[in-house]
Chains A and B, each alone.
Chain A
Amino acid sequence: MTENLAIQCKGISKIYGSLRVIDNLDLVIKYESIFGLLGPNGAGKTSLIKILTGLTKPTKGKAYVAGHDADTQSLKVRENIGWISSEVILDESLTVMENIHIQARLHNIGKGWKEKATNLLEYLELKDVDQKRVGKLSTGMKKKLEIIMALLHDPKILFMDEPTIGLDVSTRKLLWRLIKNINSKYGVTIFLTTHYIEEADALCDNIAIINNGKIIAKGSPTQLKSLSMGDIIEISFFNTFEFDHLLKIEGILEISQIGLPKDAESIKPDIDKSMKLRFRVNSAETILSELISKITVNNSNNIESIKIEKPNLESIFLQLTGKRFEEIETVR
């Protein structure tokens, strides 16, 4: 069973002193998939990667990577994995080819390393700079070089620890394409941690959300989105009005007022009487026309704008952890 799975964690816990950073975690990842681990800072993502890459031992439980025990067979595990970190970790005083050569030696790749390196350099469009010192490359190029080094020994599993952090949007999108291509072209299983929710949504076949060392939800992006309790309709009004009667409409689960603070009216009562309401509903499509007709029955010109929000990973994350991803980014 373990041999057929890329990664399997059985009841893993990691405790530092009195701090339990991983708490009885179970996880199964199939070969050739792209798996995303989402979680706020200190949730246990890095600790889990350290255990899976054989860098630290679990306090309790077992982890199997590429069919090998990550604790007792860590060298075997490391033969079968590639790793890309959140920061660029390269020897900047050496050339591109020299960096690759060191990696080839660390993985004991024989004479064929140069051919492999050349193929990957051509694939990732770095062939022209192979004799250039790494310190003179752009960040995007350096990231590509890290990918080449991680793939050089044909790993079964590629660990990517927040690989696009700090990159500009275009480089990030480029890396997304590369990650997808690597997965489909080379059949490499990808274990990705990220705090870009759209990244996980765009790339991953399966996602797990980790919080306080525990997996609190897992599944495909579609499955996770289905955990959401309905759609959101956000309506802005020019003027305030009583809305309690709208709760009687079938399919409306909750109404909340957002935007201005409660005492806003006392601050500038004559200037701004606008209002924004958020309706959580079973299905925005089926309820919208009835909702609008009830709102406009007495005042047909009160609606300023309407926004419909379908369930997304952001709302699921918020629902499950009580934290927004932007908050986490701010902390970072």
Chain B
Amino acid sequence: MDNKKSISLFKIVRSFNQFIGLYVREIKNTFRNPAVIVLSIVQPLLWIVFFGSSFAFAPLEFLQDFFHTDNYIAFLLAGQLSTSMLFVGMFSSLSLIQDKKSGYVRRIMVSPTRNYIIFLSKVFGATSRGMLQVPIVFLGVIILGVQIPDAYGIIMFMISLLLLSLGLSSIYLILTMTSSDWQIPTVISNFINLPLMFASTALFPNDNFPPWMLFISNLNPVSFSSSFGREIIISGNLSGVNWIYFYYLLIFAGIMTLTGLVVANKTLKID
């Protein structure tokens, strides 16, 4: 019995070691690539500044009626960060494609590393990359006059973004792992990113959507993350937040990550 326990413990420690090794590689690769850093930080700020300023001279009544706030940037902030996670997910797919093409996946697979460790390192690597922009964007919007919620609010919003990123990265990685043609995941990602962004509450409320778009928006995890974060930012704390949004994201991330683990073990192969 003790022997069995020590073997299980050894397996856990080994898996953790392997995960840390590959995860740290993802992080180092992010921080050593100036283009990725600039893209991660500057792009969301540009979004906030340019898109956020599009309603700068709109009448207050219109903003209150339509966005339920007098500052469109406050409305947009949660949606923009949620939308960013879509693109972060796509980058996780590209990272795996690059490792498959360069042979690095094979290097990993001839070591005693299980496939799901590769998957997890990619998912968490991409998620960390996405989370990197959150504090930067928060700092940016403070300058633009947005009231920042309390610490609990910020933490819960960040967790919701993390869940969204886990789920979305898993979807993109599943696509990459199950595809033998490296171009297909990129094409699909490009194809679904924009519809998912617009058929959500990320940029506008969905009150005036046509029924078919409303249906997509009501299932779209980007909507749930946007709405959850928006309620926190506008109210300034967690009071009055609809927790259904958060639980939905929790279930979404759980199901997608578990599916990714299974798919990784069954289908991740070298070319």
Contact = CB atoms under 8 A, between A and B. Distances in A.
A98 interface: yes
A94 B32 CA distance: 9
Contacts of B270: 50, 55
Interface size range on A against B: 20 to 34
B32 A93 contact: yes
Interface in A52-108: 53-56, 75-76, 78-79, 81, 83, 85, 87, 89, 91, 93-94, 98, 101-108
B25 A102 contact: yes
B14 interface: yes
A89 B13 contact: no
Interface stretch (B109-117, B147-155, B250-258): B109-117
A85 B28 CA distance: 24
B102 A106 contact: no
Interface in B62-110: 102-104, 106-110
A83 B24 CA distance: 23
Contact of A91 (B104, B111, B113, B269): B104
A56 B110 CA distance: 11
A116 to B, nearest CB: 15
Interface string B240-271: 00000000000000000000000000000110
B20 interface: yes
B33 A93 contact: yes
B110 A105 contact: no
B103 A89 contact: yes
A81 B109 CA distance: 12
A105 B114 CA distance: 13
A107 B112 contact: yes
A153 to B, nearest CB: 8
A213 to B, nearest CB: 20
Contact of A102 (B14, B22, B112, B114): B22
A94 B106 contact: no
A106 B32 contact: no
A313 to B, nearest CB: 28
Contact of B107 (A89, A94, A98): A89
Contact of A107 (B33, B106, B111, B114): B111
Contact of A94 (B17, B28, B112): B28
B18 interface: yes
Contacts of A83: 107, 110
A159 B109 CA distance: 14
Interface string B1-44: 00000000000011001101110110011001100000000000
A188 B113 CA distance: 22
B219 to A, nearest CB: 39
B25 A103 contact: no
A94 B110 CA distance: 20
Given A94-B28, A106-B111, A89 B106 contact: yes
A78 to B, nearest CB: 4
A75 B112 contact: yes
Given A91-B29, A93-B32, A102-B25, A55 B13 contact: no
A108 B14 contact: yes
B6 to A, nearest CB: 14
A54 B109 CA distance: 9
B21 A106 contact: yes
B112 A91 contact: no
A103 B111 contact: yes
Nearest to B28: A94
Contacts of A102: 21-22, 24-25
A16 to B, nearest CB: 13
B25 to A, nearest CB: 6
Nearest to A86: B103
Contacts of A75: 112, 114
Given A105-B21, A107-B111, A108-B14, A55 B106 contact: yes
Contacts of B112: 75-76, 78-79, 106-108
A55 B113 CA distance: 12
A79 B104 CA distance: 18
Interface in B102-137: 102-104, 106-114
Interface in B144-164: none
Contact of A89 (B22, B104, B114, B269): B104
Nearest to A98: B28
Contacts of A56: 269
A108 B104 contact: no
A55 B109 contact: yes
Contact of A105 (B20, B32, B103, B106): B20
A207 B137 CA distance: 62
7 contacts: A53-B110, A54-B110, A55-B106, A55-B270, A94-B29, A103-B111, A108-B14
Sorted nearest first, the 3 A-B pairs with minimum C-beta distance are A105-B21, A106-B111, A89-B103
Interface of A: 50, 53-56, 75-76, 78-79, 81, 83, 85, 87, 89, 91, 93-94, 98, 101-108, 159
Given A83-B107, A106-B21, 9 more contacts: A55-B109, A55-B269, A78-B112, A91-B104, A93-B29, A93-B32, A105-B18, A105-B22, A106-B108
